[in-house]
Chains A and B, each alone.
Chain A
């Protein structure tokens, strides 16, 4: 079955069909009488003709060649590949949520607005912030929204020379990309040997041209920035604001809040921390939470409440405008809302405890075989610098590819950039001790194999639907669509 290798276009046969539409029951007028012929296409559409069975089998066969959280352990660092509860899917598919139009009169969508208002409040409580915009479509879009707010804040004060954003060298790639997109120049600061923000580098970078600092805490090494208060004070004293990248928030639920650490604005990834599915690359949802000083700049609309009535509030005096169509990824919000209800305050607390315990336990199991610093306390994830015994020919890529043969999705590899041969590993709370033990046993076996049969790793994977791909060929001679 895994040998299936057809494109849907190759199944097409003239005359087949998979759709059924009712007969047109209004008086039929020749289309040329309704729309001038010059606007009409005269060719047949270049789309396939297949039967419903063809389509179902085709995509079922493709699904068989895919690996998801439901398939097995997926410790992709900084992506928080936790289990996606099924009840969340059921809730998002309720008729009253799935089939409502975004421009319906507000009195016909009070349930939806209430859900959004309550999600806003819950995220404020979890983050220690004051108000949320649910508009951002994903984490990077949240970053762009947050930076847009920071920019508006400075512009409003007439402080227009603040054109720079500081980003640590351990940051997610989206941070510097978002800063550039928001019209800032990026100052990258070096981390300490341990992998934390270097206060001296930070001080040296700060000036009256700095609009803010973007920080992930715990950072991409899974380490908590202990000096966060000092960092926040330094940035604030220099007139800048602090942005919290919420990609790693799974470690802190109910433990510590970005608002209490001194951050002014942040995003959550509902598709990481709040269990909504990653969908093969999306859609995510990246709500942005702000402190009071930024509320007046939020994109419109935000969700308001007047007595018992919920409404879309467009009355934000200094709004930056609009970051996307409509109100955000409502379908994703429904899932996150279901998750927060299911877990409650006690459950969310437990999520972080178990995410952190799992990361520390797994790191402990691996530290004799893979390169890890001694005695670090990790939060939700940890980063191994490849194999402990430095065998020149075996790389992190080889280890990752060998893991595929054993039915595991590898960790995030070659990121963060500051760690050589990095394997960024995030087990999440949804895994049991047995899963972690089995995974650790396999990684240890691979470390052994690296010494005894390195060629086996170089050739890996052996047992996947396809083997290592020629990425150079793909980039050098791009074939980006089926040409027949």
Chain B
């Protein structure tokens, strides 16, 4: 017997009799003999819960968590504070054991939290309409590019090299499928080169995509970029944004963005070795019928009670099949609940406090690390919670020494930006203390 399979041998017997079958094998007699597997799968035999736990706890201990190492690593995934209640609420099994709310009468819990999530994301980004999530920040950029191409009937995407290189890789892979031309704009002193951007935005450009704070942590001049993007009438201005930064920075919606996308992992979602995270996308009202993915709307039930339902479904794969705006079906579901609970918990004052503390601490770390001159700032531009320094020492050597001191060091830029030799991107969140930052800078100082 297996704990997740309730039928007893007696049940099996009675069910087979009822059907009129002699054996379970009869029920597989429609599978041709010559393709059937005539052996056991070469896997372990079933194991008890105790054995499974023991094995997996051991395996988990072969990893060093951010509770063992002090994390100064970011580059798209961040060690922000996660309030206790987030985990408790997303662990309610009425939420996590349900699926897409196809039957709204018994799914008001899911539908309402998605509606609340949509509202929170709109309020934060300054946009009109948010969907119910995409897979992650990278695919959100790719979906935004497809959407822009669809709206403008153009096939050129202009994207800054200061956008997360991983997201640009996703865009290239997706873009090839739809025959999009991807034009990358070079970076200069850590920001998008505006002259080059101006020269490349033409009447062929479907979208201009930038990220702010960008991959180097620097705040882009979105106002100027918006002017360049919109110098072409139809071109869409797409910005990718770290939602935490919006605690202090101007919302992209107030700066003329047509589409705002991003990675929502910072909003109460654990690092979990890269996923599952939370892609978000929000747009102007006029583009809402071109949005990919699920959208929840408010309506009334038969008794005129306020209620919520999946809506604008004429965009979606289960209705439109090959004419859908995207193929997305399962999305990030429960992680939108995590983000809603996070944003609600931090609220009006708390999100600002998180953003302020991260900024203060990142700038303190920057000052301490660059004090002696051994580590030099690579760029001279305003930054949020991440910054880049460079030195004569290879990044791998530095990071090995930091691990010995139980510190998770920064991200080496060389793989994607070979011109920035020995450059390290450090992230400092509100969780870091002065003591931890001082230790990082003193260990760094001692490295030869």
Contact = CB atoms under 8 A, between A and B. Distances in A.
The 10 closest A-B CB pairs, nearest first, are A326-B274, A96-B60, A111-B62, A102-B274, A66-B109, A68-B97, A321-B173, A283-B276, A282-B333, A279-B334
B30 interface: yes
A306 interface: no
A137 B136 contact: yes
Contacts of A271: 330
A275 B364 CA distance: 46
B122 interface: yes
B152 interface: no
Task: Say which size band chain A's interface belongs to.
Answer: 35 or more
Most buried by B among A45, A104, A280, A285: A280
Interface in A386-401: 400-401
Contacts of A34: 359-360, 363, 382
Interface stretch (B191-199, B343-351, B369-377): B343-351
B156 to A, nearest CB: 16
Interface stretch (A204-212, A255-263, A442-450): A255-263
Given A24-B360, A255-B31, A430-B4, A478 B288 contact: yes
Contacts of A410: 103
B413 to A, nearest CB: 12
A322 interface: yes
B105 interface: yes
Nearest to A472: B299
A97 B63 contact: yes
A258 B311 CA distance: 36
A464 interface: yes
B330 A357 contact: no
B341 to A, nearest CB: 6
Contact of B299 (A79, A269, A470): A470
Contact of B60 (A97, A257, A328): A97
A465 B103 CA distance: 12
B447 interface: no
Interface string B67-101: 10101010111010101010111011111111111
Contact of B43 (A122, A283, A325): A122
Contacts of A293: none
Interface in B95-147: 95-110, 112-116, 118-120, 122-124, 128-130, 132-133, 135-139, 146
Interface in A25-58: 25-29, 31, 34-36, 38-41, 44-50, 52, 55-56
B422 interface: no
B321 A96 contact: no
B67 A324 contact: no
A139 interface: yes
Contacts of A215: none
B286 interface: no
Interface string B1-18: 011111100011011101
Contacts of A285: 276
Interface stretch (B19-27, B200-208, B225-233): B19-27
23 contacts: A31-B356, A47-B123, A66-B98, A67-B107, A76-B99, A82-B4, A83-B4, A97-B60, A102-B275, A109-B273, A226-B32, A256-B35, A279-B96, A281-B294, A281-B333, A326-B273, A345-B44, A348-B41, A404-B103, A409-B103, A432-B7, A467-B301, A475-B314
Interface string A282-326: 111100000000000001000000000000000000001111111
B444 interface: no
Contacts, number: 672
Contacts of A338: 52, 56
B179 A39 contact: no
A144 B378 CA distance: 39
A285 B272 CA distance: 14
A327 interface: yes
Contacts of B448: none
B123 A281 contact: no
A324 B300 contact: no
B277 interface: yes
Given A87-B49, A125-B42, A256-B35, A47 B344 contact: yes
A464 B116 CA distance: 21
A342 interface: yes
Given A18-B347, A338-B52, A349-B40, A139 B330 contact: yes
A139 B330 CA distance: 7
A8 B116 contact: yes
B50 to A, nearest CB: 10
A20 to B, nearest CB: 8
A32 to B, nearest CB: 11
A39 B97 contact: no
Given A59-B113, A108-B403, A342-B46, A125 B328 contact: no
Given A125-B41, A177-B324, A356-B28, A65 B248 contact: no
Contacts of A114: 59, 62
Contact of B273 (A38, A112, A174, A474): A112
Contacts of B353: 19, 21
A383 interface: no
Given A140-B330, A473-B299, 5 more contacts: A44-B348, A325-B139, A326-B273, A331-B270, A360-B19
B382 A35 contact: yes
Nearest to B438: A26
Contacts of A415: 318
Nearest to A90: B53
Interface in A354-386: 354, 356-358, 360-361, 364-365, 377
Contacts of B210: none
